[in-house]
Structure 1
Amino acid sequence: MIADAIRTCVLSREEAPRDGLIRLVLGPDNAVHPDVRAKAPGRGAWIGVSRAEFEAGHAKGRLRGGLARAFKTGDFTLPDDLGDRIEEQLRRQALDRLGLEAKAGHVVTGSDRIGDNARAGRLHLLLHAADAGVDGARKLAQAWRVGRDAEGSDLKGLALPVDRTILSMALGRENVVHIGLIDARAAARVSQALDRWLRFIGPERATLPCETGSQGASTLTGDARGPAGTNEGF
């Protein structure tokens, strides 16, 4: 994917790098399908809004109008469950990315191993299951700050909107409660996938009880993202 390619959201009409947007494609069945990996053939359109804004635009007909302009035709079917399908693809992409990084050796799990890597300055991204304990998550975040010589900073972990069962399945490991990324580029790739997912589902659903991880991927303060919020190095 070309990192600096700019596209326009069909709902907000705002321009943004396409890496941060979601592609919709007009399929051969004349139906609109999500294409979050932006690889499917066919004429595409882009959205960069939250699910609440997407559903409002859908209900008011603005989504159909924007897609008709992008597709240069009004002859298409707009599924009622399109929002669900977009969300599921974003969720799957994020979890698949975590699984790939785990297979590549860029992920550590278990509080002891994550804590050791954090205090040694090798941790680049810290994630927690939705049902992670607050105390355990807080201790790992503190170890991360110690390793980065960042006492008093807002360097935190991120609680994901899935529980330990889902994370364990995604990584092919048992009882995954906490996840540490120990490679900077891998952390950037995971952060990008998480950012699109969490921004689409909205802050209300992305904010979870784990107090060390409710801020959303776009505000991670490690080096998981490039300068000025870009995805440099992808």
Structure 2
Amino acid sequence: MSRGGRDKEKGETPERRCIATGEVSPISKLIRFVAGPAGEVVPDIAGKLPGRGLWVTPARAALEKAINKKLFSRAAKAQLTVPEGLIELVERLLVKRVTDGIALARKSGKAVAGYEKVKGWLLIEEARVLVQASDGSERGKSKLSSPPGKGTFIGCLTASEIGLAFGREHVIHAALASGGLTKRVVEDAAKLGALREESGDYPRKGRTSHER
């Protein structure tokens, strides 16, 4: 891909330039926005809305810069209005996409919840990703370790948010098996985690596999 942000050769991951930081990253690591029919900035979390994409790094500082310096309008070469609470809207949409993804994985037998079931999956190496609630007991969470490798731990969701994916009030421990849907959940959760981490809204887990 050229520095301008064009797609790479066939089979390679397309990249785009963040309008706030100027950095070029794979689209899987950026949040896409488009201009709505009324000239407003619209988050396109799924990346499927028509129109020219306006890409921003999933960090509160980058989003605030894009809003405060009117970078959406500059990138679109048109006057766009930014809805009030855009960053909070992005966060809510990311939470929904992540929890919906986990729910779909559960329905296809690719996700389990509960300490014993998760522990069992980890022991037989069925678990590809460990999911633990950000507001769960650190002592309890430390008894389980995520599988080896990067992108094998999600810790940006609360117990009630994980619970939504399993039809329960609260869930502290969950696990995802390998598959294309899991890859999408991990990518979306990474964006949510980056957004929440910068604002201090979610405590990091002390022991992830790639930090040990």
Q: TM-score range by the shorter chain?
A: 0.7 to 0.9
Partner of 2:25: 16
Question: Aligned pair 1:100/2:97, yes or no?
Answer: no
Which range is displaced more, 172-181 or 124-133?
A: 172-181
Tell me the TM-score normalised to structure 2 length.
0.81
Gaps of 5+ in 1: 214-219, 222-234
Mapped contact 1:98–1:190 kept (Cα < 8 A): yes
Mapped contact 1:6–1:15 kept (Cα < 8 A): yes
Match of 1:26 among 9, 20, 35: 35
Runs of 4 or more, structure 1, over 6 Å off, are 153-156
**Residues 170 and 49 of structure 1, relative CA distance in 2, 3 Å threshold:** closer
Work out the number of aligned pairs and report it.
Answer: 201
Match of 1:168 among 163, 172, 176: 163
Tell me the TM-score normalised to structure 1 length.
0.74
Cα deviation, residue 69, structure 1: 3.4
Structure with greater proportional helix content: 1
Partner of 1:124: 128
Cα deviation, residue 96, structure 1: 1.1
Separation in 2 of the partners of 1:24 and 1:83?
12
Mapped contact 1:132–1:210 kept (Cα < 8 A): no
Cα deviation, residue 197, structure 1: 1.2
Cα deviation, residue 157, structure 1: 4.6
Match of 1:67 among 68, 72, 81: 72
Which range is displaced more, 167-176 or 14-23?
A: 167-176
Identity of aligned residues (%): 25
Separation in 1 of the partners of 2:38 and 2:49?
14
Separation in 2 of the partners of 1:186 and 1:198?
18
Gaps of 5+ in 2: 1-10
Separation in 2 of the partners of 1:51 and 1:89?
15
Partner of 1:182: 177
Question: Aligned pair 1:133/2:137, yes or no?
Answer: yes
